[in-house]
Chain A
């Protein structure tokens, strides 16, 4: 009986552990989305920027044998595409959804095209050696603490053994809350997404603020991409983001454009994905084959239900999607 209890506990903790790993890129991208959309710029190109960064990071890490250089390269490319998005939406007042979509499609094509040209492996990068990736960091005293029942398991399986980018993901949430609600820059950034004409009349450049917001979003998407290919995985595979950028977008809406809410939504969506992975092919009592597809579709379904206003109400920033035209 004690054994069964401990085993179930271990299974549960392992599922939570998997949740953290799966949720990290979602969290980073959701925070990116919050920065961009709070400033009034719709960003459906989270997916594409993450994919571009995942490729660049893996390619660089593989060629230079350094995950840190890979991360920096991934961030750089992601930021370049953020600036392209800004150039289209802020400078040329283009349609923000179309620009984001263009970047996503461009990313799908560009990563595979360049990948084949460099590595000739059908669009993949070579498998990264251990030293070329972000390795898991074991926290101190694992051996000592792990003998304590329950808490030991939590410490050993859930808290210890993550790579550093998982922690960066959580720090990003604190960073986002702090910047947006505790600094003057954050106040202005939120104002520019609600009432840009007020910010403009205070003599502050709307364009510059919005550019800063999309660049921060680019940095966060870049970290998320590098996490996928050089920390969570060991190399780039074509289309490896597989809709994660859109799930992050859904989580951001689900969290009502608030960092804490988005974090919880990411953890929930990550948990669903972790559970689905564990239930693949498992026969459940009463239900039969586990409804894995249904569990995986839950984030999309829940977001539609929330947007329909059936539970709660998600109100986007007021000036979102509208290019700002300076009055003369």
Chain B
């Protein structure tokens, strides 16, 4: 019999993610070296670009806001063992929801009413785009991975035809809506802080960041402190047991996908209400997929997701800095690092687990034998 003891908690949720990131960065460093640049210099440029320069921290947190929303979306679905890779499409449609409300009502509603409505619309549209694959999975057994992939493409087609057609503002060539009035703009953090007398540089960081943090608290309460969350985890960990306990698996799948889609949809408020103030083509630019990496790294826990979002925010902002400093390294480097992180912390997650388990159980037995002899 060779029963291995589970790893200590700090190793499982602390050490392993750190090892995964370090390995991903190490492999990226090799690529940088092969290209003929110094990986340590590139690393320093990224760190400076993400944290040191004026306003850079604001940019890092602004990117992190997107990743918190899409990461939470993936994590909630993961708790029910559903793999939602449709965050990209759900966020895209969320932008449509917020955009439609603003285009319709920004001329007569005050900000205090318009913004909450737009936020709700973004969540509702995202939820709709998540709940259809959820329904198809629950009732028709269609594989959620495939349907959410298809729904990403369908969302893209819908948005292209709307932005190039009905929603396109007259008198311009680019496929985007007209700009909203000021009533639709979320307050900027640097303006709030400047109002309070702090001297902070301009950045696109806006109130969405606070909403994202609130969403983290909400998800924590939902998953670990509510009956629904208990049912979601039960369905994820043991569908048979859940069914036996009287939980309707179909219902939980549908509800979970609605919540997941809604969270992804909320990502749009950061981009549409916070920064762009209009609906533009491809404003999601892959953030939905990054959410998968964020959820994997953050171990599907809101606190872990905040940390992982900060890491990815720093990578994105630092990656933009690479464009300026090097002629040979660009922000696509970050995409590569992201792919490697998903590979090591997702697909190869068992690779480091086994050796570490062996190591720690050996350490534990050594301690015991020493105690026995002593």
Contact = CB atoms under 8 A, between A and B. Distances in A.
Interface of A: 42, 44, 84, 87-89, 92-99, 101-110, 112-114, 116-117, 120, 123, 243, 246, 249-250, 253, 291, 293-294, 296-297, 300-301, 303-304, 307-309, 316
B39 interface: no
29 contacts: A44-B145, A84-B343, A89-B347, A95-B346, A101-B289, A101-B292, A101-B346, A102-B342, A103-B343, A104-B339, A105-B293, A106-B340, A106-B343, A108-B332, A109-B332, A114-B35, A116-B328, A249-B149, A250-B146, A250-B150, A293-B160, A300-B151, A300-B157, A303-B150, A304-B150, A304-B151, A307-B140, A307-B143, A308-B142
Given A95-B346, A116-B330, A253-B146, A106 B161 contact: no
B237 to A, nearest CB: 16
B346 A105 contact: no
B326 to A, nearest CB: 10
A109 B296 contact: no
Kindly name the residue among A109, A246, A296 whose own CB sees the greatest number of chain B CB atoms within 10 A: A109
Contact of A105 (B151, B160, B289, B328): B289
B338 interface: yes
Interface stretch (B95-103, B120-128, B252-260, B348-356): B348-356
Kindly name the residue among B142, B347, B351 whose own CB sees the greatest number of chain A CB atoms within 10 A: B347
9 interchain residue pairs of minimum CB distance = A106-B339, A109-B335, A109-B336, A99-B347, A307-B142, A105-B339, A98-B346, A94-B347, A102-B343
A295 B160 CA distance: 13
A113 B340 CA distance: 14
B296 A98 contact: yes
A93 B146 CA distance: 21
Contacts of A87: 348
A304 B145 CA distance: 11
Given A108-B335, A109-B337, A293-B157, A92 B348 contact: yes
B333 interface: yes
A44 B355 CA distance: 29
Contacts of A291: 161
Nearest to B85: A101
A117 B153 CA distance: 31
A113 B332 contact: yes
Contacts of A94: 346-350
Given A94-B349, A300-B153, A307-B136, A110 B342 contact: no
B160 A113 contact: no
B329 A113 contact: yes
Contact of B347 (A102, A116, A120): A102
Interface in B135-160: 136, 140-143, 145-147, 149-151, 153-154, 157-158, 160
B272 interface: no
Nearest to B342: A102
Contact of B85 (A97, A103, A114, A123): A97
Given A95-B347, A120-B327, A246 B153 contact: yes
Contacts of A108: 332, 335, 339
Contacts of A106: 335-336, 339-340, 343
B295 to A, nearest CB: 10
Interface in B292-345: 292-293, 296, 327-330, 332-340, 342-343
A110 B339 CA distance: 9
Contacts of A116: 328-330, 332
Contact of A301 (B154, B296, B336, B348): B154
B153 A109 contact: no
B359 interface: no
B343 A110 contact: no
A117 B35 contact: yes
Contacts of B333: 109, 113
Kindly name the residue among B140, B292, B340, B346 whose own CB sees the greatest number of chain A CB atoms within 10 A: B346
Contacts of B328: 116-117, 120
A123 B246 CA distance: 55
Given A98-B296, A297-B157, A307-B147, 20 more contacts: A42-B145, A84-B343, A88-B343, A89-B347, A92-B350, A97-B85, A98-B342, A99-B348, A102-B340, A105-B293, A105-B342, A112-B330, A113-B35, A117-B328, A243-B153, A250-B150, A253-B146, A301-B150, A304-B154, A307-B143
B347 A297 contact: no
A242 to B, nearest CB: 11
A98 B153 contact: no
B260 to A, nearest CB: 16
Contacts of A103: 339, 343
B36 A117 contact: yes
Nearest to A289: B165
Contacts of B142: 304, 307-309
Given A99-B343, A101-B289, A116-B328, A44 B154 contact: no
A303 B149 CA distance: 11
Contacts of B348: 87-88, 92, 94, 99
B31 interface: yes
A112 B157 CA distance: 25
B325 to A, nearest CB: 14
Contacts of A297: 153-154, 157-158
B83 interface: yes
A247 to B, nearest CB: 9
Contacts of A102: 339-340, 342-343, 346-347
Nearest to B350: A92
A114 B37 CA distance: 12
A98 B347 contact: yes
Contacts of A113: 31, 35, 329-330, 332-333, 336
A300 B150 contact: yes
Nearest to A85: B347
